[in-house]
Amino acid sequence: MKSKKRNLFFDYLLIFIIGFVLLYPIIWMFFSTFKTNEEIFGSFKLLPESFSFQYYIDGWKGSGKFTYAKFFLNTFIMVVPTTLLTVLSATFVAYGFARFNFPGKKFLFILLLAMMMLPNAVVIIPRYTLYNKFHWVDSYMPFYAPAVLCCNSFFPYMIIQFLRGIPRELDESAYIDGCGTFKTLTRIILPLMKPALFSAGLFQFLWTYNDYFNSLIFINSVKKYPISLALRMSLDAESVVQWGKVLAMATVAVIPVMILFFAAQKYFVEGIATSGLKG
């Protein structure tokens, strides 16, 4: 019994040490929001000399006539529809591949996998040219349209793997009870797909929320900037950067992501493990 308690103690101690090491950058960033530039660059101490929320107040005002309230609103206008549309389109594509046979299915699935290997740098120029012809540049359509058309192959592939763990007997039982294809998906399959859907949604939310490159390419107006571009803009707005103010807004920007991750952690882990009902 003592041996088990000792092993359990060391297990928790190891977990605590690893967790602290992983969280240390976030902890350092938080405490640095109360430090001056001299403290940040001239001292190794974690705690500041004094605590003041002035950097949060000044940072929230932003630069020019737009505050960070506007930038956060832009971010959620861009991210939330993109996430929902991605989950919706990926669900239909994955359901088609996992449950139906149709001509060219193997070839299309191979094409789906091949698209996962294609780096963004290869397609960014033709994408920009196409979106510019559609007059979508400086809008959020370059994010909405690929989500509607399920252009990111990772999400349908992940959901396909999850669907393969759900017995087909459930579909057959639903058909016997008079359910059609769509009703079977919405009434039977979707409730069992919550872990995979939450995982896909969380991934897309995080990737779009943190996306700096595509936002920089497709969005030109400051009034439409998401939080990633707003943080970068704050570095150019002043000749001497007040890093405490920048880190304060970076800390605020991280909060929604952390809340979402911990709130959906259960489903996220289950979805990544591609667990499902086993026949």
* pLDDT tens-digit readout, 187-196: 888 888 888 8
> What's the confidence (pLDDT) of residue 17?
93
CA atoms in the 13 A half-sphere facing the CB of 189 = 31
Q: For residues 210-224, give the mean pLDDT.
A: 92
Position 145 pLDDT exceeds 80: yes
Closest by Cα among 196, 95, 205, 108 to 147: 205
Number of residues written out for the chain: 279
The answer to whether 244 and 49 are in contact (CB under 8 A) is no
The CATH architecture that domain 53-272 belongs to is Orthogonal Bundle (1.10)
* Degrees to nearest 5, angle at CA 177 with 100 and 271: 50
Sketch the domain layout of the chain as residue ranges.
53-272
CA distance 224 to 215: 10
Q: How would residue 212 be classed by pLDDT, with cut points 50, 70 and 90?
A: very high
> What's the confidence (pLDDT) of residue 172?
84
Any residues with CB less than 8 A from the CB of 40 and at least 6 apart, and which? 32, 243, 244
> What's the confidence (pLDDT) of residue 278?
42
Which stretch, 82-86, 175-179, 241-245, has highest mean pLDDT?
A: 82-86
Q: Which residue has the higher pLDDT, 85 or 8?
A: 85
> Looking at beta carbons, which pairs linking 141-149 to residues 24 or more positions away fall under 8 Å?
142/214, 142/218, 143/78, 143/82, 143/208, 143/214, 143/218, 144/81, 144/82, 144/85, 147/81, 147/82, 147/83, 147/85, 147/86, 147/89, 147/204, 148/85, 148/89, 149/89
Q: Which of 169-178, 194-203, 212-221 has the lowest mean pLDDT?
A: 169-178
The answer to whether 83 and 202 are in contact (CB under 8 A) is no
Average pLDDT of the chain to the nearest whole number? 87
Q: For residues 96-112, give the mean pLDDT.
A: 90
Q: Which residue has the higher pLDDT, 274 or 260?
A: 260
Position 277 pLDDT exceeds 80: no
> What's the confidence (pLDDT) of residue 126?
92
**Residue percentage of the chain with pLDDT more than 70:** 94
| Token code pair at residue 171 | 């579909």
> What's the confidence (pLDDT) of residue 270?
66
